[in-house]
Structure 1
Amino acid sequence: MSSSAGFGSDADAAALAALVTDAEGAVDVVRAGQIREVRVLAAAGRLAQQQAAGASERVKSHEMALRGIAAELAGVFAATDRTLQRRIDEALDLVENYPATMDAWEAGRISRGHVRVIQDAGCVVPAEARGQFERAAIERCEGETPNRVRDALVHIAERLHPRSFSERHEQTAAGRCVRVHPGPDGMSDLIATLPTVIAEGVVDRLTRQAREIINTRPQADADPAVEAESESAAVDAAEPESSSFAGDTRTVDQVRADVFADLLLAGAPSLDPTADDDGNGALGAIRAKVQVVVSALTLTGEDDGPADLVGRSPIDAATARELAGDNTAWDRLLTHPVTGTVLECDAYQPTAAMRRLLRARDRHCRFPGCRQPAVRCEIDHTHAASDGGATHVGNLAHLCKRHHDVKHHTRWRVKQLPGGRLVWTSPTRRVYREDAPPPLVAFAPASDPPMGRPPGDGSPPF
């Protein structure tokens, strides 16, 4: 390939570099224009305040002055006066209440999209804490797109709110309800106002069930028995259910809506393509899944800050604790104390492979002298997970319920050494070493017979 022509050539690279330079210049021009527009609109808002100053009916006078100014500017911006009045209010709020954000925007550190996110998230922050919010928000915005930082900024703002998120959630949750909005052509919107985590769970379960139904279509279409039943149904209208899913062309949204109605009216989907001859199907076993990130301090009750429902919005601490308590498998995240970057992910529950290895290694309770079989023991984190102990075989061991309680509620202490060796220290400082028991059945070279028994004497190995 020539270096002066063709795709990927030096000429192409030079042309692309010129485009990038032009784009950077265009972004600077657009930013300058946007900032100038915001300052003009904010000045219009201040002018309305000045015109209304000293009037007997201050609120009404300000509203009338603002309407007149908005109507005048509407012709310039080719927009309605209502739209201009709203934009004037937003611009005045931005200029007067978010000066650091304006400075960062003018310096090119953040974009117009970041400014909107900061302003939207910061509306709940009291005036005395807004500077602190701005500094944290601007730092978080640099180098990231606006949609990626929105959730983080909402959490920062919630932390600075004078009332806790849990308190406000409890008050707002009292207004949960279900209502119907009639629509055209015999259709209506059924609206349920629910806690966010419940609403997300409902949609997730409906989506999983809908996809399970849709995924059965190829099997239904390819099943000769279904095809035969379909032909029979075309002749005999008395058995229309036999071809319910052959030729099903509903979209995911339509299937979700149908399953939603079935669950509310009948408690189960009316048609389950996964059902067997006994009438048992897989749809009913599908459970909702949501992803929640919650701090250890919130879980232990030392902090009442909101948890993060990933991809959505904060949820209250009580709901997060309930979800964590009901869940049998959750991941622990180790994050950087300053940047918050995830450094390590560790599941609290050991994997199936870990359990098998631990049963083979331990065989019984690892407290000194106890021989309770491992299958009737609990798997314990030698260095507690709540104190940073990892979930891996080098930090796990079987303890029966009795000795598990002794470890956690008395002055007995234990540490684990390589090879699964446990070193226990009693309250009187006596030390007991608990080695992982070697298998009683082992393979040995023919040249190394068991000690004390001559080779080939015909005696059993044990």
Structure 2
Amino acid sequence: MFDADVVIGELAQVPAGAELAAALARVDRALLNGFELVELAKAASRQVAHYQAELLVTARETAYCPPGDEASPPERTDRPDEYAAEEIRFALTLTRRAADTLLGTAYQLVERIPAALEALRSGRIDLAKARVLDDETAALPPHIARRIVDLALPAAGGLTTGQLRARLRTLVITADPEAAALRQREALTRRRVEHGLDPDGNATLAGYHLPPDRAATAAARIDALARAAKRAGDARSMDELRADLYLDILNGDHIPDSPTPGGGGVELVVPLSTLMGLSEQPGEINGWGPVVAEIARKVADGQRDGSWRFSVTDGGGVLTAHGSMRRRPPARDAAFVKARDKTCRAPGCRTPAHRADLDHTRAWEDGGPTTPANLGVLCRHCHGYKHSRGVSLVQPRPGTFVWRTRLGHTYTTGGDG
């Protein structure tokens, strides 16, 4: 058996495949501490990704095999068999949909975006992220899809699927703003409302392919009404309040005429050139994600006379201005920090700033100043985690946060969402 210290210290440098499989097989978890177990989990995850890539490649290749049996020669055809997915479905005991999805992903990664397949095979990304790369570039011509994937891959391994999806949407819109706007308008023609019973006997009522500007405004109004009710002493949870208000509005039941001051606006992050109509760079509706320039301008114009917050960035995404058109604006520093951070600053958390706490990185009671350089956005859950035993958080530069977990791992988050 390998010495545990040597193996764990070297696992990150062992390439996924046979060599890593052999190393993993010789590790005794009982000899590892918490820090080392996390390193082992990371290595095992890379190896799983490698096997997932091998499964996809193998599944695709079966589609090009002519009919035969165990004695058949290793021949291949020029075209995949029409019912190739059935072979995989029967062998792996999958549903028809699952088999079609597996083989479809295999075709796309091997034939359309091979760089994503190689990143999966090497363990730099997992299968969920590979599928996001496929989904978000599916509408693009192959040569543009490959270029977008190449741009996204260097950072993909350090992003959650939600963060990766948002980054890809920005890249896709930037690559061809006119085509992205056309796809958005075409998808809008498929807008619909669906309803049905849930397994627990309750119901789902949801809209799909809605205009982003109107949907974001509607959601912000419901959220503001729910917060107003909560401040007034309503005992229901925020989720319960939002759901009940949603039905109240649709059914025409009595609701307050308007949210109380301090809520109901949509927070928009947008390049100044886009706002002025000088470019078609994408904007971002905070908490929703990237939107085409046309939608960003609609959001800004629709709130011209209302209560709203704005963030203006330069072409590189650096915050240049933030403001509020409320009658009673929040403190200047608090507004700036929320605009700078946009979401909770814990690794992978995407809770919007307007639903999160404003935290003193260095505690106020320990002498931490109430300045942007010592303030950061943390959601309620991650705020609690920050104060748990063994966890530390520092802000070496305004907007850059360095976490140390209870098991000794270090993660850095920046101001890019």
TM-score bracket relative to the smaller structure: 0.5 to 0.7
SS of the counterpart of 2:278?
A: coil
CA distance in 1, matches of 2:131, 2:241: 36
Q: How does 1:189-338 map to 2 (within 5 A)?
A: 189-193=204-208, 194-217=210-233, 250-266=236-252, 268-269=254-255, 283=259, 288-325=264-301, 326-327=303-304, 330-334=310-314, 337=316
Return the TM-score normalized by structure 1: 0.52
What is the RMSD computed on CA atoms of the aligned residues?
A: 3.9
Deviation at 1:311, TM superposition (A): 3.2
Q: Deviation per CA, 1:212-247, whole angstroms, max 9, x where unpaired?
A: 223323xxxxxxxxxxxxxxxxxxxxxxxxxxx7xx
Deviation at 1:114, TM superposition (A): 2.6
Instruction: Note closer, same or farther for the CA distance 1:268–1:88 as it changes in structure 2 (3 Å cut).
Output: same
SS of the counterpart of 2:284?
A: strand
Query: Is 2:99 the counterpart of 1:84?
Result: yes
Which sections of structure 2, spanning at least 5 residues, go unmatched?
1-29, 68-74, 333-417
Deviation at 1:124, TM superposition (A): 1.7
Q: Which amino acid aligns with 1:156?
A: L
Q: Larger C-alpha radius of gyration, 1 or 2?
A: 1
CA distance in 2, matches of 1:26, 1:44: 27
Q: How does 1:50-449 map to 2 (within 5 A)?
A: 62-64=81-83, 66-71=84-89, 74-75=90-91, 77-161=92-176, 163-176=178-191, 179=193, 181=195, 183=197, 189-193=204-208, 194-217=210-233, 250-266=236-252, 268-269=254-255, 283=259, 288-325=264-301, 326-327=303-304, 330-334=310-314, 337=316, 340=317, 342=318, 344-347=319-322
- Structure 2 contact 284–290 (Cα < 8 Å) conserved: yes
Instruction: Note closer, same or farther for the CA distance 1:120–1:192 as it changes in structure 2 (3 Å cut).
Output: closer
CA distance in 2, matches of 1:175, 1:253: 28
**Identity among equivalent pairs (%):** 22
Q: Which amino acid aligns with 1:110?
A: I
- Structure 1 contact 306–316 (Cα < 8 Å) conserved: yes
- Structure 1 contact 164–305 (Cα < 8 Å) conserved: no
SS of the counterpart of 2:125?
A: coil
Deviation at 1:256, TM superposition (A): 2.9
CA distance in 1, matches of 2:225, 2:38: 47
Aligned length: 287
Q: Which amino acid aligns with 1:15?
A: N
SS of the counterpart of 1:159?
A: helix
Instruction: Note closer, same or farther for the CA distance 1:286–1:353 as it changes in structure 2 (3 Å cut).
Output: closer
Q: Deviation per CA, 1:117-158, whole angstroms, max 9, x where unpaired?
A: 211211122112222112101123143333322201122123
Identify the residue that residue 240 of structure 1 maps to in structure 2. Answer: none
SS of the counterpart of 1:63?
A: coil
CA distance in 1, matches of 2:189, 2:36: 59
CA distance in 1, matches of 2:127, 2:224: 37
Relative contact order: is structure 1 or structure 2 higher (C-alpha 8 Å, sep ≥ 6)? Answer: 2
CA distance in 1, matches of 2:96, 2:188: 37
Which sections of structure 1, spanning at least 5 residues, go unmatched?
1-11, 55-60, 218-244, 273-280, 355-462
- Structure 2 contact 49–121 (Cα < 8 Å) conserved: yes
- Structure 1 contact 151–311 (Cα < 8 Å) conserved: no
CA distance in 1, matches of 2:155, 2:236: 43
Deviation at 1:192, TM superposition (A): 4.0
Instruction: Note closer, same or farther for the CA distance 1:258–1:117 as it changes in structure 2 (3 Å cut).
Output: closer
Q: Please point out which of 58, 63, 66 is paired with 1:45.
A: 63
SS of the counterpart of 1:46?
A: coil
